[in-house]
Every structure is written in C-alpha cells, then in structure tokens.
Amino acid sequence: MDTVLQTRNLGKRFGRRWAVSGLDLLVRRGDVFGFLGPNGAGKSTTIRMLLSLIRPTTGAVELFGKPLPGNRSEILRRVGGLVEGADFYLYLSARRNLEIVAGLSGGVPRGEIDRVLDLAGLAGRSEDRVKTYSHGMKQRLGIAQALLGAPEFIVLDEPTTGLDPQGIKEVRDLIGRLSREEGMTVFLSSHLLHEIEQTASSMAIINRGTLVMQGRVSDILNQAEVGVRIEAEQPERAAEVVAALPYARAVMRENSVVSATLPRERLAEVNRLLVGLEIGVRAFVPKRSLEDYFLEITEGASDVAPRSRQRWRKES
C-alpha cells in the first residue's frame, strides 16, 4: 500500500516548551487514521504542521511522497482540511464562503459547490449568511469546505466537537462513506477513544507531544496491556506475588481487591501462578476496554503544573 502521509522526527517548540517532539506518523492510502490524545497533547499543533499553517522546528512532513513545504501548492491541491472548528466569514452566505475557498484552490468544476453543500445537508440554506447558522451547521459547512475539489486526503480536527448525538452520527456516517465510496484517506483527530474505535482503521496515540503508540486499531485492541481486577482470599499475599512479576505494573490493593496492569498474553500465566501458590482466587477480571488503557497512559497529563496546563489548554 502506498503512503499518503509520513512524518519524521516532527517537532514544534513554542518558546521553551515543546508542543510536539520526535513524532513519526505513517498514514497509508485508504486508511481512516485516528489521531488520539487528551486535550493539549499536541494534536492541533501537529495538524497545523501537516497543513502548512505552522513551520516545524524539527523534522519533516511528507505527503504523497513529496516534502512540505517545498511542494506546498501541489500537495494542498490534493488535501482538504478542517482545523479546530469551522470559522467562516459570518457576514457572507455559505455559497460565497465556498466560492472564496474554491478561488484559493484555483477554482473548482461547475456544480462542485452544490455537490458539497448537498453532502453536508446545507443545500436549502446555502444563500443564508453563516452568521445565522447553528454550531452543527457551521461544523458541517467546515467539512463541506474540506471536501471541495474532491481531495484524496482529508484532515479533520475533532470534527464532532459540539455536535449533538444526531450530528455526531451524521459526521461518522459521512466519514465512513467518504472512505468506502470515494476511497478517500481520512486523518481524524479526537480526544475520545470510542470515536476513534468506531470510525478508524488505524490509529496513533499522542500524549504530551510525543507518540505513545501507533498501529492498526484491531491490533492495538488485542495487544495492549490489560488492567486486571483480582479478588483473592489472601489479598496481601496476592498483591506481593503480582508486584514481584517483572512485567506487572500499577499493582494496587484495596481491601480484598488487587488491581494490576498486565500484558494480555500473561493473564493465564498469572492466574495459574496464584492458584499454584494456593491463593484462593475468587475472581480474575480483565478490563478489556481500550478506554481504561487510554486513560491510564494519558493520566500523566493531569500531573503537570497548573501554569503549563493552562497553556496546553489554550493550545489544544
């Protein structure tokens, strides 16, 4: 499969703070690529670098095998983007807004504006000023402008933010359609794991500006370490035994419940070990959800000092 996007050692420093560092991403043609991270993890900074809004401090962005910013115009002709919410010229109609955007792309075929307005379900309101639009409509218009000119690759930064459940479902369906029917490669950022789980085929997790992991969603779901809840008759002893295992992390005991993070393939082994030591195991429950895993690897995000956390928020 050919590569649509590749970044190498991508980094951006604002003052003394690295918003993103050493980021290596790989997006293949046809992927719906989920870019997951908590608020302030550096998702938007990364996306802004992919779309040439900001200049990387280190590393390089390559799209369609060509380096940015050198081939900026040629590359961006094949890319559509929606960065951090859809802002438009509020005093102009949706159609005029799209005409201006189309002009920046060197013009689009006749009927293209109607096509994307229709896709976004805004055909009936196209002559109204964007000022009169609801948040959801603006968001849909944002996606519509990203689709203008039938790009091969679209980058959507938190496209479902602020939408109601119906709107979220519509956006997800649209992303699915674009991927399946139009063969578009989609780069989708989110701070919600279940959103990525439901829409993406591969994913990367970013935290504090660095890549935590990257791969196919199904692989990550299966390979990940698992949080396990163990109810034992001798909880102190059980906790000691588990804590002594080199691969066990985050071992804690609360009354008769021991919790630990273990590699998936070691679960049976740990269970056998406890039983073999004649520790009565009443329950051995793996928490399968990637959500816990995501929360766990990103929980450090709340450890940062209040001042820098504020700056993270602002940036995200």
The residue ranges that bind another protein (CB under 8 A) are 48, 51-55, 72-74, 76-77, 79, 81, 83-92, 96, 99-101, 103-107, 142, 145, 315
Nearer to another protein, 74 or 254 (CB): 74
CB of 30 to another protein, least distance (A): 22
CB of 61 to another protein, least distance (A): 13
CB of 173 to another protein, least distance (A): 23
Nearer to another protein, 158 or 197 (CB): 158
Sheet-wide strand order for 79-82: 79-82, 153-157, 185-190, 32-36, 202-207, 210-216
Nearer to another protein, 107 or 162 (CB): 107
CB of 299 to another protein, least distance (A): 27
Nearer to another protein, 28 or 96 (CB): 96
Nearer to another protein, 34 or 56 (CB): 56
Nearer to another protein, 57 or 256 (CB): 57
Structure tokens at 47: 């996306």
Nearer to another protein, 178 or 270 (CB): 178
CB of 77 to another protein, least distance (A): 5
Q: Is the dihedral of CA 76, 82, 87, 92 positive or negative?
A: positive
CB of 108 to another protein, least distance (A): 11
CB of 291 to another protein, least distance (A): 30
